[in-house]
Amino acid sequence: MKVIIVGAGAAGLMAAKVLLENKVEVVILEARDRTGGRIFPIVNNKYGFTVQGGAEFVHGKLPVTLELLEEAGLTLKETTGKFLQLKNGMWQQSWEMIEDQEKVIEKMKGLKEDMPVAIYLETYFNDDQHKAMRESLCKYVEGYDAADPATASTLAFLKEWETEEDEQYRIEGGYGKLLDFIVDKINKAGANIIVDTVVKNIEWTTGDVTVTTAKNEKISADKIIVTVPLGVLTSPPGSPAHIKFYPALPAKIEAAGKIGSGFVIKVLLWFNDAFWEDGLAGNFDPEIKDAAFLISSETIPTWWTQLPDRSPLLTGWLAGPKAATFKDANEAEILQLAIDSLAKILNVSHAVISEKLLWSKVINWPADPFAVTAYHFETVETATAQAELATPVNDTIYFAGEAIHNGQSTATVESALTSGKITAELICKSLSK
């Protein structure tokens, strides 16, 4: 039995690991020149650091991630620090991102049917009195969930709110260490991870699949797992990452289009020192010294530190529909927006930021043809769409990924790992019949 896996991100690598442990032959095809997908560790040899261009946090004690970490001998480090919001020129320490939060949640609990967040606000809080509430909820949905309030599910937001873990962690050494462990297991099992290989066509009949790559190579197998992001799965013909199925799978592609596509731009700034921890940061507030997150209304509104590690790295975050508007902006333009935003947030000159900046990197995920989406968000149609995508086609074509797993820890690496694991186990179960 041979299985082709399209995509060497978390879901694809996890599926390969499980299949190989069950003695199934695997070939992994990856469009990029690296493994990891939207896990993107960036190593800087000049200054001797590794930073995270993609996934960074572990949101709570997550079972599949914890099991893998234990197997790999890796550990978690809990984040620390204050959550500061800049309001009317003053820093306020508060984790409450939504005005009249209790009122918002209580009304959600009484909903009889789902609706988009924007419709929910228009229906129940459409008056001048609740303007701040509407703006803060939309800002949260866009910034945290990378979602569009016009289509994001209200009940999904409520579920997330009620089940979200308070503890946040990072893997010691970053997600790259976990990837290295899985890739090493795959290599030792004798499987091929073929990078720089863009899949263009998938021809199939029951129990037989042939993939044609952009280099016109043909690879055949008994089954295939497609783990590409939503943005790739729904990309139009002619786009660099578009995959064509023969025969076509309109129900699957239509289902993928009903799941929300979350856009993110991440900006990494490495300075010669952590200058925001001392009086150089304008009208210095001592609370900034121990800040984990800085939230503002600037163009790049959200920034975080590496606490508990005292690091000269600040990470900027722009998510949701606003990130999509910068899809075609070049790195220099986005970097200037980031520096301008940070200068205003810290109340220092643009020159101070620029002079202290040693290294920068802009990761524009909407502009990446092999990602487009950073992670998904739930619409009112997501549950049925996920069920459609999770259902194999004639026990031959399987789909996996963070956007397909319908469970806890949605839109995370945990979700991708779980989806890959479940999909591989499904294939193994079908072989034992």
Render pLDDT for 44-99 as a digit per residue (tens, 0 to 9). 999 999 999 999 999 998 999 999 999 999 999 999 999 998 888 888 887 777 77
C-alpha distance from residue 177 to each of 40, 197, 227 (Å): 11, 24, 21
The pLDDT, as a whole number, for residue 286 is 64
Q: Which two tokens stand for residue 161?
A: 């709110």
pLDDT higher than 60, residue 281: no
Residue 211: CB atoms within 10 A of its CB come to 22
pLDDT at 289: 81
User: In this predicted structure, which of 9-13, 92-96, 398-402 has the lowest mean pLDDT?
Assistant: 92-96
Mean pLDDT of 329-337: 97
User: Which residue type occupies 384?
Assistant: T
Q: Is the dihedral of CA 198, 201, 205, 208 positive or negative?
A: negative
End-to-end C-alpha distance for the chain, whole angstroms: 14
CA distance 270 to 303: 13
* CATH 3.90.660.10 domain locations along the chain: 264-367
- Give yes or no for a contact between 198 and 214, defined as CB atoms under 8 angstroms apart: yes
CB-based contacts of 278, cutoff 8 Å, min separation 6: 284, 289
The pLDDT of residue 161 is 83
Q: Work out the mean pLDDT of the chain and round it to a whole number.
A: 93
User: CA 265 to CA 374: how far, in whole Å?
Assistant: 9
Token output for 160? 């997330």
Angstrom CA distances, 292 to 95, 160, 287, stand at 11, 22, 10
pLDDT at residue 38 in the model: 97
Please tell me whether residue 382 adopts helix, strand or coil conformation: helix
- For residue 247, what are its two tokens? 């025969």
Average pLDDT over residues 241-261: 97
Distance CA 333, CA 314 (A): 18
**Chain position carrying tokens 């995920």:** 365
- How much is the pLDDT for 272? 94
pLDDT at 369 over 60: yes
Q: So what's the pLDDT on residue 284?
A: 52
Tens of pLDDT, residues 207-235: 999 999 999 999 999 999 999 999 999 99
Domain 2-74+172-259+379-431 carries which CATH code?
3.50.50.60
144-188, pLDDT tens digit by residue? 899 999 999 999 999 888 887 778 999 999 999 999 999 999 999
pLDDT value at 432 more than 80: no
pLDDT band (50, 70, 90) for residue 348 = confident
Give the pLDDT score at 180.
95
Residue 372 pLDDT > 80, yes or no? yes
Per-residue pLDDT averaged across 413-432, rounded? 94
* For residue 314, pLDDT beyond 60: yes
Hey, what CATH topology would domain 264-367 get? Polyamine Oxidase; Chain A, domain 2 (3.90.660)
Confidence class for position 433, pLDDT limits 50, 70, 90: low
Written as six digits, the tokens of 371 are 């990602």
- Environment class of 335 (CB within 10 Å of its CB; exposed 0-12, middle 13-18, buried 19+): buried
**CATH 3.50.50.60 spans which residues of the chain?**
2-74+172-259+379-431
pLDDT at 277: 84
The whole model's pTM is what? 0.95
And the tokens for 115?
Answer: 């609706």
Specify the pLDDT at position 279. Answer: 60
Task: Please state, as a whole number, how many other Cβ atoms lie within 10 Å of the Cβ of residue 376.
Answer: 28
